[in-house]
Chain A
Amino acid sequence: MEEKDKKSSGNISRRALLGGALATAILPVSSAFAKYVQVGAPIDDPTKKLGPGPGKLGKRSPFEQPLKKPSDISSRTPLQDLYSTITPADLHFERHHAGVPTIDPAKYELLIHGMVDKPMKFTLHDLKRFPSVTRTCFLECAGNFRSGSEQLTPQDILGLTSQSEWTGIMLSTLLREVGVQPKASWFLAEGGDAAVMTRSIPVSKAWDDAMIVYAQNGEAIRPEQGYPARLLLPGWEGNMNIKWLRRLEFADEPWFTREETSKYTYPVKDRIRYFSFEMDARSIITYPVFPQKVERGWIEIRGIAWSGRGKVLKVEVSTDAGKSWNTANLQEPVLSKAHTYFRYLWYWNGDATEIASRVIDETGYTQPTLKQLAEARGTAIGGYHMNPITAWQIRPDGSVLFYPEKV
């Protein structure tokens, strides 16, 4: 902006803008006013301008622009931009192996066969006729850990976790419908995408809490999340929650598909660990984080914690680089296998320090450090099932940076 414009906008600001706003309703805008009234931007005083009326589809404020961060193979939830534990459906992380298929719900069918008394097919309409259940739980990709730079956000580090309220039917309901035979100990879940994605799953999970879901946060499930129906295995690694589900086959042995052998396995010392299903307990501070800056004084440290094995029992926060740990407040209700919001009030005196969180789940498991994980699994540690404590540096100038560790 030139000096002359700055001065004149300072001189006329309030009166001219108000006049301009009123004038636009009834008069053509003069070129003099157009200079000061930003076209397309919200007016300074919303009480002086009639807004748009009701519409058919809501949208976010133009001032709020949370965005997923896509790579070639996945797209990450902006955890640092969320205020509670439900992930808006359009911000739910994505991971797919051959793109998002377009499936006509009128043509959709789920086939169940193998070691069952009655092999059957179910349309989407059929699935929706069964008694339904709604459950809130997280989904997390098993390969959800990045490090290596101070300039990473929670989205960069572990944005492959999201949470929704899912609605569908218990898988056990369908198991009774087809008559799963006692000898069946595994089932294969297969997707209708171009990867025809498959995973072997123990039947015990089907009888426990597995669901087939067709809705997410009150509306039909999004195509990126498996429209029109997907498998939901609460607490188990994301890859097993087969999207665009089209087939379940029951048998007495697992299949050892590509996704459970060459992928989603990891080195532990000199061996390769397979069939890692549960996601271990984990937490991360989502405020304050890079690239935010903080001010001296009271800071409410906030974040999320979760466990694939049940409820979050406790979250502890350290503000002195791990020397001492303090109990954070948990936002009720604390749900099993669900992201749980935590808060810890802290007075920052302006000194350089590190803040971090760790979760203890109801099995007694305490979120480990990266060093502990490396000691347990060896230094050739892979990217799968990594859940280390994540710390943030607070610099005297208020800048917040990730604390990347090396094994």
Chain B
Amino acid sequence: MASSLADTTKWPPHFGFGHAATEQEIKLWDIDIRPDGLGLPSGSGTVAQGKAVYVVKCAACHGMEGRELPGVKLPAPALVSDTLAGSRPKTIGNYWPYATTVFDYIRRTMPYNLPGSLNDNEVYSLTAYLLSANQIISPNTIINAQTLPAVVMPAKKLYVRDDRKGGKEVK
């Protein structure tokens, strides 16, 4: 790397700019969820509760059933499909490798017009409803911080890490 871009060794170990972050400050923004469940909050949700929330807060953009309908262009992506479908539309059931991502994404950015407005139980419920509608879990499963990371997604086995490395090969 050009020397103009590299740090010099003459710098002090610390400049002393910035301030220590408090536990409260970190807690306020630390909203991410990992596949192993790290970061999931307390609370829980059911498929039935999720369906009720979905109809009120999600259906306007994703359609009443969350499915792709012939000749209808929804403002938002389809969320539900038969996981056995040959065409493999990119829905949660067909394409998402981890169930925890569903919770994380809904909580951080949905509904589109009122992002971050759902409480944790609503997010658990919506996650339960969408996993059930995609035939990943049975309709009576309760979704919480313990059960969500245990859900095995059908698409996980399809995922392979990028092995492009430059050089002559086209990959």
Q: Is the beta-carbon distance between A120 and B170 smaller than 8 angstroms?
A: no
Q: How many Å lie between the Cα of A365 and that of B170 in the bound state?
A: 8
A278 touches B21 (CB 8 A): no
List residues 134-153 of chain A with CB under 8 A from any CB of chain B: 135
A397 at the interface (CB under 8 A from B): no
Those of B117-137 within 8 Å (CB) of chain A: none
Across the interface, name the chain B residue whose C-beta is closest to A281. Answer: B166
Residues of B within 8 A of A194 (CB): 109, 115-116
In the complex, B42 has a CB within 8 A of chain A: no
Are B25 and A121 closer than 8 Å at their CB atoms? yes
Contact A363 B29 (CB under 8 A): no
Q: A194-B115, A198-B108, A262-B96 are in contact. Are A129 and B162 (CB under 8 A)?
A: no
Q: Please give me the residue from chain A that is nearest to B91 by CB atom.
A: A262
Contact pick for A119, options B21, B101, B115, B168, CB 8 Å: B21
Which chain A residue shows the least CB distance to B18? A122
- The reply to whether B32 and A188 contact each other, CB–CB distance below 8 Å, is yes
Q: Which of A112, A120, A170 has the most CB of B within 10 A?
A: A120
Contact indicator B115/A195 (Cβ below 8 Å):
yes
Total A-B residue pairs with C-beta atoms closer than 8 Å?
A: 160
- Are A278 and B170 interface neighbours, CB within 8 A? no
In the bound complex, residues from chain B placing their C-beta under 8 Å from that of A373 are: 170
Contact of A272 among B4, B5, B160 (CB under 8 A): B160
A104 beta carbon closer than 8 Å to chain B: no
- B166 near A365 (CB under 8 angstroms)? yes
Residue A257 at the chain B interface, CB threshold 8 Å = yes
CA distance A196 to B33 in the complex (A): 13
Residues of B close to A361: CB separation below 8 A:
166
What 1/0 flags go to A232-269 for Cβ under 8 Å of B?
Answer: 00000000000000110101010111100110010010
Which chain B positions have C-beta within 8 A of A251? 34
Selected from B11, B18, B109, B166, the residue in CB contact (under 8 A) with A126 is B18
Are B108 and A273 in touch, CB under 8 angstroms? no
Q: Are A98 and B162 in contact (CB under 8 A)?
A: no
How far does the Cβ of A321 sit from chain B's closest Cβ, in whole Å? 21
Is there contact, CB below 8 Å, between B159 and A111? Answer: no
Residues of A within 8 A of B34 (CB): 251, 253, 255-256
| A38 interfacial by beta-carbon distance below 8 Å | no
Asked if A372 and B170 make an inter-chain contact with CB atoms under 8 angstroms apart, the answer reads yes
In the assembled complex, the Cα of A270 lies from the Cα of B160 at a distance in Å of 10
The residue that B15 contacts in the complex, of A130, A261, A268, with Cβ under 8 A, is A130
Q: A198 contacts B158, CB within 8 Å?
A: no
Min distance, Cβ B96 to any Cβ of chain A, angstroms: 5
Q: Do A265 and B159 touch across chains, with their CB atoms under 8 A apart?
A: yes
Pick from B5, B13, B112, B162: contact of A275, CB below 8 A.
Answer: B162
| Chain B residues, Cβ within 8 Å of A278 | 164, 166
Cα-based distance from A174 to B167 in the complex (angstroms): 32
B84-121 at interface with A (beta carbon < 8 Å): 90, 92, 95-98, 100-101, 104-105, 108-109, 112, 115-116
Q: Select A277's contact among B25, B33, B162, beta carbons within 8 Å.
A: B162
What B residues does A249 contact at CB under 8 A? Answer: 30, 32
Nearest CB to that of B35 among chain A residues? A256
A375 to B169, CA, bound (A): 12
Q: Looking at B5, B18, B19, B35, which has the most chain A CB atoms within 10 Å of its CB?
A: B18
The 0/1 profile, CB within 8 Å of B marked 1, for residues 140-171 of chain A is: 00000000000000000000000000000010
Determine whether A190 belongs to the interface, using a CB cutoff of 8 Å to chain B. yes
- Bound-state Cα–Cα, A170 to B4, Å: 11
**A126–B17 touching, CB < 8 Å:** yes
Question: B26 on the interface (CB 8 Å rule)?
Answer: yes
Across the interface, A271 reaches (CB within 8 A) one of B11, B101, B104, B160, namely B160
A366 within 8 A of B: yes
A88, CB-defined interface residue at 8 Å: no
The answer to whether B7 touches A274 (Cβ under 8 A) is no
Known contacts A119-B21, A121-B18; is A256 also within 8 Å of B98 by CB? Answer: yes
**22 interchain pairs (CB within 8 A)?**
A111-B25, A113-B30, A119-B26, A120-B19, A121-B25, A129-B15, A173-B15, A176-B14, A196-B108, A247-B29, A247-B30, A255-B32, A255-B104, A256-B35, A256-B101, A261-B96, A262-B90, A272-B97, A274-B162, A277-B162, A364-B166, A364-B167
Chain A residues engaging chain B, CB cutoff 8 angstroms: 97-98, 111-113, 118-123, 126-127, 129-131, 133, 135, 170, 172-173, 176-177, 188, 190, 194-196, 198, 208-209, 246-247, 249, 251, 253, 255-258, 261-262, 265, 268, 270-278, 280, 309-310, 361, 363-366, 368, 372-373, 375-377
**Extra 19 A-B pairs, beta carbons < 8 Å, given A258-B101, A271-B159, A364-B168:** A112-B21, A121-B19, A129-B15, A131-B7, A177-B17, A190-B32, A196-B109, A196-B116, A208-B1, A255-B34, A255-B104, A257-B105, A262-B90, A265-B159, A272-B160, A364-B167, A372-B170, A375-B170, A376-B171
